Amino acid sequence: MNKEQASKKIESLIELLNQYGYEYYVLDNPTVPDSEYDQKLRELQQLEQDFPDLVMENSPTQRIGGAPLASFQKVTHNIPMLSLGNAFNEQDLRDFARRASNGTDQPISFVCELKIDGLAISLTYENGKFVRGATRGDGTIGEDITSNLKTIRSIPLSIKEEGTLEVRGEAYMPHKSFLALNEQREKNEEEPFANPRNAAAGSLRQLDPKIAAKRNLDIFLYGVGEWENSDLTSHSEHLARLKELGFKTNKEWKKCNTIEEVIDYVNYWTEHRNDLSYEIDGIVIKVDSLDQQDELGFTAKSPRWAIAYKFPAEEAMTTLRDIELSIGRTGVVTPTAILDPVRVAGTTVQRASLHNEDLIREQDIRIGDKVVIKKAGDIIPKVVRSVVEQRNGDEEGFHMPEECPACGNELVRLEEEVALRCINPNCPAQLMEGLIHFVSRNAMNIDGLGEKVIIQLFQENLVQTMADLYRLDKEELLQLERMAEKSVTNLLEAIEKSKENSLERLLFGLGIRFIGAKAAKTLAMEFETIENLQKATYEDILAIDEIGDKMADSIVQYFAEEKVTELLNSLRELGVQMEYKGPRKSEQATDSVFSGKTVVLTGKMEKFSRKEAKEIIESLGGTVTGSVSKKTDIVIAGEDAGSKLDKAEKLGIDVWSEQQLEDVVGK
Ligand code: IVH
């Protein structure tokens, strides 16, 4: 085949394969068996290999290209990507319709759409070519994630449209992909994602497009940013035209001529949201006419021509089978509800923290009770109340034991704390939790040493202290259940590699009270070696900007322990290096997600103390304030977040979970 013939053949194969892909991924209606697609794809790959300069950008082989990126480039949105104001009930919807009517002379038609729970994305096409895909970011500046978006098969790499077209939509992870991903992660002993939204966001934030490619993400396009050559006059025409151009739009949208019809639509989907194969968190209502949209305009944050109705948090009823106690790294004993599995807001819940005995007593929660479960912020499962009316008399009250269930030591209640604690430093449960923390992702990051393996090692008496991990040998490991030659080799390699970690990982991993990942980094950067930190006085440590008195006190106390000196000596002898290897303080990057942002913390945090979270955000250039207002950029909501969260939602402010904060800090 000569070059000219190859070029023609390549062009026709691309057209054919893109048509097949469109039918499969966009229309969900394949017209050929997979084997035929694969055969044509192989033919194309062979030709591209033989004629490398004929590789076209819209070839399906170009979806998973590119080497991993070092970081994402920033993208400025020519037209800002605003968010929407919220409605929580019928009255809010009627108020919205009235405000809209008052702002325009002609009668209004609305378009109702499902509010897909993913993340907002912008796709830019120049003369028919997909040139850039970006996240919403803060609405003005997002990140260029083109390579990751190209892996979403329903996004066309080319369309038949001249000029510039910037389309907007929601990237999301369908339930099926989400369940498969979490199953896989649990097998690999990786933390599962809390919900499909986090999983989609986490996948698109990966610098290596190969990871996003494996996550089976999808997208619905629901709007237009810039459209150079369009003379369309309504949003419904936009949706229809986007569909014609080959974009995946959501088919459930409906044009409604009255607010009553809108309310019917909202009620219908409140009932049927769980029938969908993807997660929705509400309904978006938009004024259809583009002229009327212009007339109504925008407030500071959001358009007056659209609103997002948010579904109420879902509740479900199940049986409380038992209350288990878990002992944390710092000895806190936490009661956990063991539940009959029940689906709430898209995931199956089997456990929920009951926090402490006081709470169980106040709410009179008994083993055997029917209980109502809700997801706080739709993420963390929570027992809301017992259904007292359904008791049959067999339910049992719960009392915290007086002794630690792991070591038998007396439990104590420290001053000003609700929690009971085991203060035995040799308590096996605490030692084990300490080891789990030591090897975890943000600490020493030892791959292959998940919770289950640590428990095994501990129970087999192979590992008692952190230093013992570096004494493990092949023979010992091979004796463990489910440990084959290959996994043992990989594990030993990972342990060996961790010896070269920069100091902050070790400092965080040691589990010094009040020293989170961020404080560990600050300390490592400041003192550079562990010896310097060991020698430092309380005053030296307190003099550091981001370190408070509790932290300083805790560090001094920690290093004064003889056992700690012994542990560090052993680690050093075993080859664990203890120096800071990151950028010097003066080279620290100034730009971060928090720089220049005003952040409000609300609700109970589990992983960070309030102070710690504040310190982290401030060290990343943010300002933490106490109350939510229009000036607030981000609200980070822990458990039981109350009126501040409501207000943030009303104002359409970005709300983060504690996990999101951890993800960013970990990053
Ligand atoms: S329209 C001017 N339509 O909900 C804002 N948004 O705050 C135009 N979303 O950030 C947004 N499904 O990420 C629109 N059918 C839909 C949507 C939708 C999900 C998200 C989007 C936006 C947020 C609204």
Residue 603 backbone class (left: φ over 0; alpha: ψ -120 to 50; beta: rest):
left
Candidates 163, 278, 286, 273; CA nearest to 223 is 286
- Each residue's pLDDT tens digit, 305-344: 999 999 987 789 999 999 999 898 889 999 999 999 998 8
| 479 Ramachandran zone, left/alpha/beta (phi>0; psi -120 to 50) | alpha
Answer yes or no: is pLDDT of 621 > 80.
no
Ligand 1 contact via 113 beta carbon (within 6 Å): yes
Q: Is 120 in the pocket of ligand 1 (CB under 6 A)?
A: yes
Rounded to whole angstroms, the Cα distance separating 172 from 318 reads 29
Instruction: Note the pLDDT tens digit of each residue in 250-286.
Output: 999 999 999 999 999 999 999 899 889 999 999 999 9
Average pLDDT, the chain: 91
115 catalytically annotated: yes
Q: Mind spelling out the 3-state secondary structure of 480-508?
A: CCCCCHHHHHHHHHHHHHHCCCCHHHHHH
Third-level CATH fold of 503-573: DNA polymerase; domain 1 (1.10.150)
Q: Is the CB of 142 under 6 A from ligand 1?
A: no
Strand ordering across the sheet containing 623-625: 623-625, 598-602, 634-637, 654-657
- Atom 4 in ligand 1: residue holding the nearest Cα: 115
C-alpha 356/C-alpha 400 separation (Å) is 9
Helix (H) or strand (E) holding 338: strand 332-344
Q: Is 309 exposed, middle or buried (0-12, 13-18, 19+ CB in 10 A)?
A: buried
Give the per-residue pLDDT at 379: 61
In this prediction, residue 294 has a pLDDT band, given cuts at 50, 70 and 90, of very high
Q: Which CATH superfamily is 315-391 part of?
A: Nucleic acid-binding proteins (2.40.50.140)
Q: Facing residues of 156 across strands?
A: none
Q: Which CATH architecture has domain 428-498?
A: Orthogonal Bundle (1.10)
The CATH number, out of the four listed (3.90.110.10, 3.40.50.720, 3.40.50.1950, 3.40.50.10190), of the domain defined by the range 589-666: 3.40.50.10190
Does any ligand 1 atom lie closer than 6 A to the CB of residue 116? yes
Tokens linked to 606: 């589990």
38 pLDDT band, cuts 50/70/90, is very high
Residue 141 Cα to ligand 1 middle (Å)? 17
Q: Is 439 exposed, middle or buried (0-12, 13-18, 19+ CB in 10 A)?
A: buried
Ligand 1 atom at minimum distance from 86 CA? 7
Do the first three CATH levels of 315-391 and 428-498 match, i.e. the same topology? no
C-beta 303 within 6 A of ligand 1 = yes
Q: Lowest-confidence range among 147-151, 516-520, 549-553?
A: 516-520
H/E run at residue 129: strand 129-135
526 ligand 1 Cβ < 6 A: no
Boundaries of every domain in the chain: 3-63, 85-310, 315-391, 428-498, 503-573, 589-666
The dihedral region occupied by 586, where left means phi > 0, alpha psi between -120 and 50, and beta the remainder, is alpha
The rounded distance, in Å, linking the Cα atoms of 209 and 53 is 23
The one-letter amino acid at 418: V
What separation in angstroms does the CA of 322 have from each of 326, 369, 520?
Answer: 13, 10, 38
- Which distant-in-sequence residues (6+ apart) come within 8 Å of 597 by Cβ? 138, 621, 622, 623, 633, 634
Which run of H or E residues covers position 556? Answer: helix 549-560
Q: Give the predicted TM-score (pTM) of the model.
A: 0.59
Choose the catalytic residue: 40, 115, 248, 382.
115
Of ligand 1's listed atoms, the one at least distance from the Cα of 303 is: 2
Sequence-distant (6+) residues with CB within 8 A of 31 are 20, 23
CATH code given to domain 3-63 = 1.10.287.610
Domain 85-310: CATH superfamily, name plus number: DNA ligase/mRNA capping enzyme (3.30.470.30)
114 Cα to the center of ligand 1, angstroms: 9
Q: What pLDDT does 417 receive?
A: 77
User: CB–CB of 251/201 below 8 Å?
Assistant: no
